[in-house]
Amino acid sequence: MNGGAGGGLLEPRFLAELEAYRRRFRFPVRSGASGDRGGRRGGSSAEFLEHRVYSAGDDARRIDWAAYARTHNTVIKRFRAEEDAWVRLMIDCSGSMAFGEPTKHRRAQELAAALGHLALAQGERVDVTVGHEDRPRSSAMLRGGRALGSLCRSLEASSPRGAARLGSLLGAHTRRAGARTVLVVVSDFLGEDDAEVVFRQAAARGHVLYLLQVLTPEEADPRLLGDYLLEDAETGESLPFTADDQSLAQYRHRLQALQDRLRDAAVAAGGRFVATTTAEPLAVTLPRLLGEHG
């Protein structure tokens, strides 16, 4: 890591802004493993959760004798369990992410670093998976604010190349993961595979989905006019294309439909979908992702 805690991905000034989000935002799903935050289940922390009528088999050490003296009812005291959230950052590193200025891949790295920093600062567990083609590479499980450097190094170690296999990558993860996780997927979602099916499967397994679509301004609104021979950056396939009002309207319609499907999948999984462009500042994108409108 070079520079400060955020390396080259996060500027110190932006890190200071993230502190405000750290206090207001909380990842919505608990993994079930012990952590720093109180969970909905009963546990062994010092925080009182509720009284419950004693039943056979309960630990007699938990009977609240003071309550018995007042009410002559035998109740036991329950305390809140302390759990953490497992945040998995998945970055699309296919060749299509190399477009834009800055590149979509760079903007994806910055977004992932920002979210990872938030999670680490809140004591959550974080790991990073950078995926291109069928050889995804995952980092070790990271925890604590000091792990931000490792997080950034894992992110910066990737470079965009090859074709995207986002669907298969997600599918493998959701099948392996034993606990509910917060899945943050940063991609342009322009790959050929049908990742939306995997998104629904992940939602069914209790995973929360945060989907970030990063596009270039040209992809969001093509300024083409005339005859082109388009070449796919990932597959090398060529396509003659005549750009006119009609064809570009269809392009925009298709993009809108894709974004609608992604939004539906994210909302169904208790998360959020945000589309951004490389021209949009990070400080504008992140509040939208975290639900900070305005």
Partner 1 sequence: MRLAHPEGLALLGVALPVLLLYVLRQRRTPRKVASLTLFRRVERDLTAQRPWRKLLPELSLLLQLLLVVLLAVLAAAPEREGSLSSRASLGVVLDISASMASRRADGSTRLQRAAALVADLHAAHGDRLHLVLAGVEPRLVEADAVRMTLAELDAEDTGSDLEAAVALAEDRLRGDADAQLLVISDGETPRPRSRMALTTQNVGEPAINVALSGGKVHVNGEGRAELSALVTLHADAGVSQDVQVNLLALDGDGTPGATLDTRRLTLRAALRTPVRFSPANLAQGAYALQVSPGGALDRDDTQVVLVPAAARLPVVVVAEFQGARERHVLVRALLADRGVAVQAVTPEEYPRVDVPPDALELMVGQCPDGAGTLRPRGRDLVVFAPPPGRCFGATVEPLLREPRRVVGWRQHDARFRFLSLDDVHVDRASTLVPNGGDGALIEDRRGALAVDASTSARSVTVLGFTPEASNFPKQRNFVVWLRNLTELARQHRTQGSRQRIKAGGGQSVTVPSEVAVLRLRAPGLVDRKLDAHRGEVVLPPLPRAGLARLQWDDPSPMSLPISVQFADNSESVLRGNDEGSFDLTSAPGAPSRVLWTTERLRLLLALLALGLLAFELLLYGRRPSWLTWRRPLVPRRGQP
Q: Which of residues 230-269 bind partner 1 (CB under 8 A)?
A: 230-235, 237, 239-242, 244-245, 247-248, 250-252, 254-255, 258, 263
What phi, psi does 282 have (nearest 5°)? -60, -35
Q: Which is nearer to partner 1, 86 or 189 (CB)?
A: 189
Two structure tokens written together for 97: 């992410």
Peptide bond into 102 cis (omega under 30): yes
- Report the DSSP pairing between strands 142-143 and 125-131: antiparallel
Cα atoms in the Cβ-side hemisphere of radius 13 Å centred on 72: 0
Positions 104 through 133 that interact with partner 1 (CB under 8 A) = 104
273 makes contact with partner 1 (CB under 8 A)? yes
Q: Cβ of residue 216: shortest distance to partner 1, in angstroms?
A: 7
Query: Which is it for strands 125-131 and 86-92: parallel, antiparallel or unpaired?
Result: parallel
CB of 280 to partner 1, least distance (A): 6
* SS3 of residue 42 by DSSP: strand
Residue placing its CB nearer to partner 1 in the complex, 73 or 235: 235
* In the complex, least distance from residue 221 CB atom to partner 1, rounded to whole angstroms: 4
Report d(CA 180, CA 177) in Å as an integer: 7
Maximum separation of any 2 CA atoms in the chain, in Å? 88
Contact pattern from residue 48 through residue 87 relative to partner 1, giving x for each residue in contact according to CB under 8 A and a dash for the rest: ----------------------------------------
Q: Which stretch binds partner 1 (CB under 8 A): 4-12, 40-48, 115-123, 215-223?
A: 215-223
